[in-house]
């Protein structure tokens, strides 16, 4: 290894089947949780509400997913890129730069209602993946502002 201005540079990159065996890629047989965040901008208004939010307005929302499962033979439970694909294809299309009162199912577009819808959409999409990984949504947080969020947790959604 060379030391260049405090940075280490490896002499030789580790090679699969030479320096590490495939059976060593998976280190454990435990359930793990990965998390991925997304943002979207959208407009909405609330019905049957006497406050500022009865008027049409917008937010930059932040969504945080906690997804758990078991790792495959490589030691991966789910690729972060696959979570992003599900988000883009199945969920974001209804949310980003949309008028939520039109694009979501008939509901008051509160953070509390929306977080359940987002949870259900992601959980449904994950159920179509490799069943041996048992990938599932553990929680979803939906931030409406930087300091205000609604949360849905698996234990509140399903009796297991």
Q: Which of 45, 53, 90, 151 is catalytic?
A: 53
pLDDT at residue 112 tops 80: yes
HSE (side-chain half, CA atoms, 13 Å) at 92: 17
Sorting pLDDT into bands at 50, 70 and 90, what band is 12? confident
The string of pLDDT tens digits covering residues 33-54 is 999 999 999 999 999 999 999 9
The tokens for 125 are 């999409």
Query: What is the mean pLDDT of the segment spanning 127-135?
Result: 86
Mean pLDDT of the chain: 93
Q: Which of 44, 92, 138, 144 is catalytic?
A: 144
8: alpha, beta or left? (left if phi > 0; alpha if psi -120 to 50)? beta
Any catalytic annotation for residue 144? yes
The tokens for 143 are 């931030």
Q: Could you give the 3-state DSSP secondary structure of residue 99?
A: strand
Any catalytic annotation for residue 102? no
Q: Which of 47, 97, 102, 124 is catalytic?
A: 97
Any catalytic annotation for residue 97? yes
Residue 77 pLDDT: 93
Question: Is pTM, for the whole model, over 0.85?
Answer: yes
Q: Which residues of 74-103 are buried (b: 16+ CB within 10 A; e: fewer)?
A: eebbbeeebbeebbeebbbebbbebebbee
Sorting pLDDT into bands at 50, 70 and 90, what band is 113? very high
Q: What are phi and psi of 36, to 5 degrees?
A: -140, 140
């Amino acid at each position: 290894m060379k030391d260049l201005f405090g940075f280490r540079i490896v002499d030789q990159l580790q090679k699969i089947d030479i320096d590490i065996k495939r059976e060593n890629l998976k280190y454990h047989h435990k359930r793990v949780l990965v998390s991925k965040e997304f943002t979207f901008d959208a407009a909405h208004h609330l019905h049957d509400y006497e406050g500022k939010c009865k008027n049409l307005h917008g937010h930059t929302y932040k969504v945080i997913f906690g997804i758990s499962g078991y790792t495959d033979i490589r030691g991966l439970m789910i690729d972060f890129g696959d979570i992003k694909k599900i988000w883009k294809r199945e969920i974001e299309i209804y949310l980003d730069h949309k008028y939520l009162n039109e694009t979501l199912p008939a509901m008051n577009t509160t953070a509390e209602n929306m977080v359940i819808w987002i949870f259900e959409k992601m959980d449904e999409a994950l159920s179509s993946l490799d069943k041996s990984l048992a990938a599932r949504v553990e929680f979803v947080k939906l931030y409406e502002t930087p300091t205000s969020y609604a949360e849905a947790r698996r234990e509140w959604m399903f009796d297991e």
